[in-house]
């Protein structure tokens, strides 16, 4: 019998809108502390018995930053990892997701999944008795935003009350930015073509939180970036999308070049979660220029994952 049954429900990290704002603030603060500490995580931030714990990582999509950052994060905390892709397991090949979740809960202490469909994440969390972490789905990418907020605060201080601009596709990363704007109390301006605006469910959630003034939706990139302290974009065509020509045509006017950055606030920083395609969503002079913090942002995935794992495994 699974010894975990009957204990407190696991601390899942599925989406920012489902986690209390004070908890999210604590996770970011832990990430700051962990980065300052370097490779040796302070004892008070290490989960109890971490040396006996195993993180299982499932990748339905290829990954560089998510895979390596979670693997190294768990090792620096003191635990161990197992990485699986779709060819290594029965998930999606006939075995119910509920069975996979129950079995992995008997073997491991936490589960991170980078899934094609958000429902896969939801189903795993519903049936797992260990924490499940959203490493990316088609609807959201919350771990990325923890790293992004960490990066912003390193250069600009607390993000509360500040202004961030998103320019491009209203995709999964944009959705998590919208969740974060409400939870962390900053202003987000989202510029997308009408055909690629964020999911209506995310828009409705912002309204339901009474925070419709926190997020401005527009189709004008110049309006979005005016006075912003941070400009964020993402690739125009994500893995699994088969409408590249249409997307490139729609998003051409949303490329972030130096002219657009000059419309932002003085000393505005530029973010991109990578991989980036220079000459498409961003010009080379911006992503490789002085305003870019993309490689700090990539490094901060490691410190963000350490903090997320620590919280999921019981650190407060």
For residue 259, give the 3-state DSSP assignment. helix
Give the tokens for residue 146.
């923890």
Spot the catalytic one: 234, 247, 291, 305.
Answer: 234
Q: Does residue 144 carry a catalytic annotation? A: yes
For residue 37, give the 3-state DSSP assignment. helix
Q: Does residue 234 carry a catalytic annotation? A: yes
CB 170 within 8 A of CB 197: yes
Burial of 118: CB neighbours in 10 Å, binned 0-12, 13-18, 19+: middle
Residue with tokens 């919280």: 311
Residues paired with residue 55 on neighbouring β-strands, in sequence order: 81, 110
Spot the catalytic one: 17, 65, 138, 144.
Answer: 144
How does DSSP assign 93-147, residue by residue? TTB-HHHHHHHHHHH-SEEEEE-SSHHHHHHHHHH-SS-EEEEE-SS--HHHHHH
Spot the catalytic one: 46, 65, 301, 303.
Answer: 301
* Separation CA 312–CA 304 (nearest Å): 12
Give the tokens for residue 7.
């204990």
Spot the catalytic one: 65, 114, 127, 179.
Answer: 114
- For 190, what's the count of Cα atoms within 13 Å in the CB-facing half-sphere? 31
Residue with tokens 């994060």: 73
Spot the catalytic one: 46, 65, 141, 272.
Answer: 141
Spot the catalytic one: 148, 169, 189, 273.
Answer: 273
Sequence-distant (≥ 6) Cβ neighbours of residue 64 within 8 angstroms: 275
Q: What is the CA radius of gyration of the chain?
A: 19
Catalytic residue numbers, as ranges:
114, 141, 144, 234, 273, 301
């Amino acid at each position: 019998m699974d010894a975990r049954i009957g204990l407190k429900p696991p601390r899942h990290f599925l989406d920012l809108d489902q986690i209390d704002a004070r908890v999210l603030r604590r996770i970011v603060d832990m990430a700051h502390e962990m980065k300052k500490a370097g490779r040796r995580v302070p004892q008070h931030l290490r989960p109890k018995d971490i040396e006996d714990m195993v993180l299982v990582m499932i990748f339905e999509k290829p990954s560089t930053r998510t895979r390596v950052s979670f693997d190294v994060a768990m090792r620096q905390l003191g635990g161990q990892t197992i990485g699986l892709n779709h060819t290594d397991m029965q998930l999606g090949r006939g075995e119910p997701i509920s069975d996979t979740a129950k079995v992995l809960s008997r073997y491991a202490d936490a589960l991170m999944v980078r899934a094609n469909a958000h429902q896969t994440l939801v189903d795993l969390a519903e049936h797992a008795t260990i924490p499940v972490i959203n490493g990316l789905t088609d609807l959201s990418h919350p771990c990325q935003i923890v790293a992004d907020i960490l990066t912003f605060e390193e250069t600009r201080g607390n993000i509360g009350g500040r202004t961030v601009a998103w320019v491009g596709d209203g995709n999964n990363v944009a959705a998590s930015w919208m969740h974060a704007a409400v939870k962390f109390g900053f202003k987000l301006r989202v510029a997308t073509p009408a055909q690629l605006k964020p999911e209506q469910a995310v828009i409705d959630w912002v309204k339901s939180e009474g925070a419709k003034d926190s997020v401005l939706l527009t189709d004008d990139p110049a309006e979005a970036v005016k006075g912003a302290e941070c400009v964020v974009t993402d690739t125009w065509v994500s893995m699994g999308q088969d409408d590249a020509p249409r997307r490139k045509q729609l998003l051409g006017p949303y490329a972030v070049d130096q002219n657009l950055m000059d419309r932002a606030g003085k000393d505005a920083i530029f973010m991109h979660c990578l991989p980036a395609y220079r000459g498409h969503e961003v010009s080379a002079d911006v992503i490789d220029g002085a305003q870019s913090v993309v490689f700090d942002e990539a490094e901060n995935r490691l410190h963000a994952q350490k903090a997320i794992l620590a919280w999921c495994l019981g650190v407060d």
